[in-house]
Amino acid sequence: MSIALTVSDYGSSAAFLREFDECAFQARNRPGIMKVVGRRGSNELKKHFRMRNRTPNKLGGTRTNFWQGVADAVQNPVLVGDSGVCISINHPAFAQKVFGGTIKPKNAKALTIPVEPEAYGRTVATFQQETGIQLFLLKKKAGGMSNLLAGIVDEHTVKVFYVLQSSVDQAADPQALPDQNQFEAALLDEAEQYLNRENKRS
């Protein structure tokens, strides 16, 4: 699933829209100003996602570099008519970060939620292959199986590596997209620079 960002979809303020429309109105080359502003928007998104990628994951373990993948998925801006521009982010999991929602397993009976650094970013099959630890469901004291997937680490230690869940409700990440005010300021800055270059040429 991809996300296509437009100025209005981003939740931009009325003040920004007025200033931006004024800049676009003043430009002699409307597609030209939209193209450079779109490129700036694309670069600002990539910069934000790369900064997010520098933050260590809370659980630790091997990094998946999720946010670098999102940065790599930012597409070049596409003009919409002569007065609009669209930036698509073609990453299958990014929409979940922006909007939140319920995650359900697609090809399995349950989600495997890692609870130890060694399990982070690894499927159960990959974990078992790379660590040599065979996993099994722990039994409940009252009988039956729990939702805890554990393995024997040594002759004295049994450790839980995953928790099985039928679904997970994930909240939207408020920092999935760049700060709105900073993003708007960057776009206006690029629009004003473009107008200044146009005026110098004339």
Mean pLDDT across 124-135 = 94
Same-domain status, 177 and 189: yes
**What is the token pair recorded at 22?**
């004024």
Instruction: Give the mean pLDDT of the chain.
Output: 89
Query: 182 or 57: which carries more pLDDT confidence?
Result: 182
Same-domain status, 159 and 76: no
Same-domain status, 140 and 183: no
Mean pLDDT across 45-61 = 88
Same-domain status, 95 and 108: no
Q: How confident is the model at residue 193 (pLDDT cuts 50, 70, 90)?
A: very high
Same-domain status, 59 and 108: no
| All residues at 6 or more sequence positions from 165 whose CB lies less than 8 Å from its CB, including other chains | 110, 111, 113, 147
Cα–Cα dist 95/103, whole Å: 12
Same-domain status, 41 and 64: yes
- Tell me: the pLDDT tens digits for 101-115? 999 988 888 999 999
Instruction: Give the best-scoring range by mean pLDDT among 54-58, 71-75, 88-92.
Output: 71-75
Same-domain status, 109 and 122: yes
- Answer whether residue 8 shows pLDDT above 60: no
Q: What is the pLDDT of residue 10?
A: 55
116-117-121-122 Cα dihedral, nearest 10 degrees = -60
- Answer whether residue 90 shows pLDDT above 50: yes
How many residues appear in the chain? Answer: 202
For residue 132, give its domain range: 103-168
Write the DSSP symbol of residue 196. H
Query: 1 or 165: which carries more pLDDT confidence?
Result: 165
Min mean pLDDT across 83-87, 130-134, 153-157 is at: 83-87
Q: What is the pLDDT of residue 84?
A: 81
Mean pLDDT across 39-66 = 89
Same-domain status, 64 and 150: no
Q: How confident is the model at residue 15 (pLDDT cuts 50, 70, 90)?
A: confident
Q: How many domains does the chain fold into?
A: 2
Chain centroid to CA 9: 17
Same-domain status, 142 and 54: no
Same-domain status, 34 and 21: yes
Same-domain status, 7 and 89: yes
Is the CB of residue 41 less than 8 Å from the CB of residue 12? no
- Answer whether residue 66 shows pLDDT above 90: yes
Q: Model pTM? A: 0.82
- Answer whether residue 36 shows pLDDT above 90: yes
**What is the token pair recorded at 34?**
């939209």
Q: What is the pLDDT of residue 1?
A: 46
